[in-house]
Amino acid sequence: MVERDFYSELGVVGEFDDVSLRRSFKRATADWNPEKFPGNSQVKKRFERLRTAYDTLRDPKKRALYDEFGEVSLKPSFDPEWERERRARAKEREEARKAREAERREREQAAVKRRAKAALVSPTAVPLEDGRPGWAIRVAIGPRAARSGGYETVRVTRPEKCRPCDGSGRKPINCPRCKGEKKLGGVRLETCEPCHGVGLVAEHGDCKHCHGTGVRQRRRCKFCGGFGRAVQRFTCASCKGRGFLVIHYEVDCPDCSGTGLKPCMRCDGQGTVPVERPLRLNVPAGVDQNAEYRYAGAGFAVNPEDPQPDLFVRFVLVERAPPRKRSRRRRRRYWY
């Protein structure tokens, strides 16, 4: 249930004195008097809470502690100094956690920069930004290769269709979490707004004992005080007296994304996997810095049946060409 503070429960706002606080307390407890409803535990509990709120706000010391620490200050074993030290230690731990989080983000950003630099050595093919069918890569070449031109072989990381799932990203097996139902159900509890979590609704109407006359057996009715009007308690029709509402909801299964099939473990449900392949490029002579060239039909098709798109290569001139990967195969020696 949603917790409400003492100020809102008594209906006091801003600065107030003892007279206005007393008046607000009487107004708030007029409909929650246990003497009018004997044996009702909910009314008694509500009245005791309003009484605790009034006693707390009336005492300046208790009110100051309540404003600083909340309802935890009402416990008999509460120690303000210990609570302040505990909050100070919690604040230090939170600052240390934020510092570690900042360091982790800095390391991640440094790793991204290192991967961006490594992309010049092992370029990664990405789709064109304007949505055209094609791929774009960045290739680092040396000054000599830029002047004279020739063929350069680079290793490009490109996406290929996942073979285990045939590019669908799903296996023909029901999702183990939703059992193929595509939906997951749940239940959450919400505070009933009409009764504010009490389970009872107060209504002003004719007194049921004197039928609105104010006189019962030729005497003034003791239940309504002779006014003929009284506050009556009824069970809340929305929550059936429970004080909370049971909300049933359904969401798409997060494991299978609402498909009902088990995601592929190889491609993580994407349908494609990154694969590093060699690519031989014909570098023209006299390449400038950040020059972009179009190679027709030299792109990568995820599906082999689709036509080959174009490949756009941006050449980056470096002082020294990046080292090529050489085989570390151990030379076999023969002993006679």
CA 30, CA 104: separation in Å to the nearest integer? 58
Tokens 């082999």 belong to residue:
304
Sign of the torsion angle spanned by Cα atoms 290, 291, 297, 298? negative
Low-confidence ranges of the chain (pLDDT < 50): 1-3, 118-122, 321-322, 334-336
pLDDT at position 241: 79
pLDDT tens digits for 16-63?
788 888 888 888 888 787 887 788 888 888 888 888 888 888 888 888
How far apart, in Å, do the first and last CA atoms of the chain sit? 87
DSSP state, residue 290 = T
Q: Which of 169, 151, 155 is nearest to 276 (CA)?
A: 155
Sign of the torsion angle spanned by Cα atoms 288, 290, 293, 297? positive
Sign of the torsion angle spanned by Cα atoms 5, 9, 13, 15? negative
Q: Where are the alpha helices (DSSP H) in 126-248?
A: 143-148
pLDDT at position 97: 93
DSSP state, residue 113 = H
Encoding tokens for residue 233?
């308690």
pLDDT at position 321: 44
Helix axes 41-58, 18-29, angle to 10 degrees: 180
CA 187, CA 245: separation in Å to the nearest integer? 10
CA 330, CA 89: separation in Å to the nearest integer? 58
Q: What structural domains does the chain harbor?
A: 6-78 (1.10.287.110), 122-162+271-317 (2.60.260.20), 174-252 (no CATH)
* Helix or strand (DSSP H, E) at 51: helix 41-58
Q: What is the pTM of this model?
A: 0.36
CA 36, CA 33: separation in Å to the nearest integer? 6
Counting every residue written for the chain, the total comes to: 336
